[in-house]
Protein backbone atom coordinates (compact mmCIF):
# COMPACT_ATOMS: atom_id res chain seq x y z
CA UNK A 1 0.00 0.00 0.00
CA UNK A 2 2.86 2.38 0.82
CA UNK A 3 4.40 1.65 -2.59
CA UNK A 4 1.07 2.43 -4.26
CA UNK A 5 0.85 5.75 -2.39
CA UNK A 6 4.41 6.62 -3.32
CA UNK A 7 3.78 5.84 -6.97
CA UNK A 8 0.52 7.80 -7.00
CA UNK A 9 2.26 11.09 -6.02
CA UNK A 10 3.32 13.29 -8.90
CA UNK A 11 6.53 15.35 -8.88
CA UNK A 12 4.86 18.49 -7.50
CA UNK A 13 3.29 16.65 -4.55
CA UNK A 14 6.58 14.91 -3.73
CA UNK A 15 8.37 18.26 -3.61
CA UNK A 16 5.76 19.67 -1.21
CA UNK A 17 5.92 16.58 0.98
CA UNK A 18 9.73 16.76 1.09
CA UNK A 19 9.62 20.47 2.00
CA UNK A 20 7.13 19.80 4.81
CA UNK A 21 9.22 16.90 6.16
CA UNK A 22 12.52 18.83 6.04
CA UNK A 23 11.01 21.92 7.68
CA UNK A 24 9.35 19.78 10.39
CA UNK A 25 12.65 18.10 11.25
CA UNK A 26 14.45 21.47 11.24
CA UNK A 27 11.90 22.95 13.65
CA UNK A 28 12.11 19.88 15.89
CA UNK A 29 15.92 20.10 15.88
CA UNK A 30 15.92 23.82 16.70
CA UNK A 31 13.45 23.29 19.55
CA UNK A 32 15.51 20.39 20.93
CA UNK A 33 18.70 22.46 20.91
CA UNK A 34 16.91 25.32 22.68
CA UNK A 35 15.37 22.98 25.26
CA UNK A 36 18.61 21.21 26.16
CA UNK A 37 20.94 24.23 26.15
CA UNK A 38 18.90 27.38 26.83
CA UNK A 39 15.60 26.67 28.63
CA UNK A 40 15.89 27.67 32.29
CA UNK A 41 13.83 27.41 35.43
CA UNK A 42 14.17 28.84 38.92
CA UNK A 43 16.41 27.05 41.45
CA UNK A 44 15.52 27.63 45.12
CA UNK A 45 18.10 29.42 47.25
CA UNK A 46 18.98 28.19 50.71
CA UNK A 47 19.16 30.79 53.46
CA UNK A 48 22.94 30.40 53.68
CA UNK A 49 23.24 30.91 49.93
CA UNK A 50 20.97 33.95 50.10
CA UNK A 51 23.13 35.49 52.82
CA UNK A 52 26.31 34.69 50.89
CA UNK A 53 24.97 36.15 47.62
CA UNK A 54 23.81 39.30 49.44
CA UNK A 55 27.21 39.81 51.07
CA UNK A 56 29.00 39.11 47.78
CA UNK A 57 26.80 41.67 46.02
CA UNK A 58 27.56 44.28 48.68
CA UNK A 59 31.32 43.65 48.42
CA UNK A 60 31.53 43.57 44.61
CA UNK A 61 29.37 46.62 43.94
CA UNK A 62 30.21 48.50 47.15
CA UNK A 63 26.47 48.77 47.76
CA UNK A 64 25.43 50.98 50.69
CA UNK A 65 22.04 49.30 51.21
CA UNK A 66 21.41 48.07 54.73
CA UNK A 67 18.77 45.51 53.79
CA UNK A 68 17.30 43.55 50.90
CA UNK A 69 14.48 45.51 49.27
CA UNK A 70 12.42 42.56 47.97
CA UNK A 71 12.63 38.81 48.40
CA UNK A 72 11.53 36.93 45.29
CA UNK A 73 9.49 33.79 45.99
CA UNK A 74 8.15 31.09 43.70
CA UNK A 75 5.98 28.32 45.19
CA UNK A 76 6.93 29.51 48.71
CA UNK A 77 10.65 29.08 47.94
CA UNK A 78 13.19 31.89 47.83
CA UNK A 79 14.58 32.15 44.29
CA UNK A 80 16.23 35.58 44.42
CA UNK A 81 16.24 39.12 45.73
CA UNK A 82 16.07 42.71 44.59
CA UNK A 83 18.39 45.23 46.22
CA UNK A 84 17.39 48.83 46.92
CA UNK A 85 20.28 49.91 44.65
CA UNK A 86 18.43 48.29 41.72
CA UNK A 87 20.38 45.04 41.40
CA UNK A 88 18.38 41.85 40.84
CA UNK A 89 19.54 38.30 41.48
CA UNK A 90 17.62 35.23 40.30
CA UNK A 91 18.97 31.74 40.89
CA UNK A 92 18.31 29.80 37.67
CA UNK A 93 19.34 26.44 36.28
CA UNK A 94 18.90 24.67 32.97
CA UNK A 95 15.72 22.59 32.71
CA UNK A 96 17.82 19.51 31.96
CA UNK A 97 20.15 19.99 34.95
CA UNK A 98 19.75 17.90 38.06
CA UNK A 99 18.01 19.67 40.96
CA UNK A 100 20.28 20.32 43.92
CA UNK A 101 18.89 19.35 47.30
CA UNK A 102 20.02 21.13 50.42
CA UNK A 103 21.14 18.94 53.28
CA UNK A 104 22.68 19.63 56.66
CA UNK A 105 25.04 16.70 56.32
CA UNK A 106 25.43 13.80 53.93
CA UNK A 107 23.64 11.28 56.12
CA UNK A 108 20.39 13.00 57.02
CA UNK A 109 18.58 15.11 54.38
CA UNK A 110 16.41 17.14 56.75
CA UNK A 111 16.47 20.78 55.68
CA UNK A 112 14.12 21.95 52.94
CA UNK A 113 13.77 25.43 51.45
CA UNK A 114 9.99 25.32 51.26
CA UNK A 115 8.28 27.53 53.81
CA UNK A 116 4.73 26.88 54.96
CA UNK A 117 3.97 30.51 55.65
CA UNK A 118 5.33 34.03 55.86
CA UNK A 119 5.77 33.75 59.65
CA UNK A 120 8.12 30.79 59.26
CA UNK A 121 10.02 32.64 56.54
CA UNK A 122 10.41 35.72 58.76
CA UNK A 123 11.80 33.66 61.66
CA UNK A 124 14.26 31.81 59.44
CA UNK A 125 15.58 34.94 57.75
CA UNK A 126 15.95 36.78 61.06
CA UNK A 127 18.06 33.89 62.36
CA UNK A 128 20.47 34.32 59.43
CA UNK A 129 20.63 38.07 60.05
CA UNK A 130 19.04 39.38 56.86
CA UNK A 131 16.47 42.17 56.75
CA UNK A 132 14.05 42.78 53.89
CA UNK A 133 11.25 45.20 53.06
CA UNK A 134 8.89 43.29 50.75
CA UNK A 135 8.08 39.80 49.49
CA UNK A 136 7.13 39.35 45.84
CA UNK A 137 5.71 36.16 44.35
CA UNK A 138 7.03 35.35 40.87
DSSP letters for 93-133: EETTSPPP---SSSS-----S--SSHHHHHHHHHHHT--EE
Lowest mean pLDDT among 2-11, 64-73, 101-110: 101-110
The pLDDT assigned to 50 comes to 84
Q: Note down the domain range covering 117.
A: 41-137
- The answer on 52 and 78 residing in a single domain is yes
Name the pTM for this structure: 0.54
Question: How far is CA 115 from each of CA 48, 122, 133, rounded to the nearest angstrom?
Answer: 15, 10, 18
- The answer on 77 and 119 residing in a single domain is yes
- The answer on 101 and 57 residing in a single domain is yes
- The answer on 128 and 82 residing in a single domain is yes
**Range list of H helices, 2-138:** 2-8, 11-37, 47-61, 118-128
- The answer on 10 and 24 residing in a single domain is yes
User: Number of structural domains, the chain?
Assistant: 2
Instruction: Name the band, by pLDDT with cuts 50, 70 and 90, for residue 121.
Output: low
- The answer on 87 and 29 residing in a single domain is no
Tens digits of per-residue pLDDT, 24-81? 999 999 999 988 888 888 888 888 888 888 888 888 988 888 888 888 888 888 888 8
- The answer on 95 and 74 residing in a single domain is yes
Amino acid sequence: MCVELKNSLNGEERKMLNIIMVSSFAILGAYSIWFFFKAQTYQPLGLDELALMWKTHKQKTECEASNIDTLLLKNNEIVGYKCSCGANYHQKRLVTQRVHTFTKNKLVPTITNRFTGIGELNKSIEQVGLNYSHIKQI
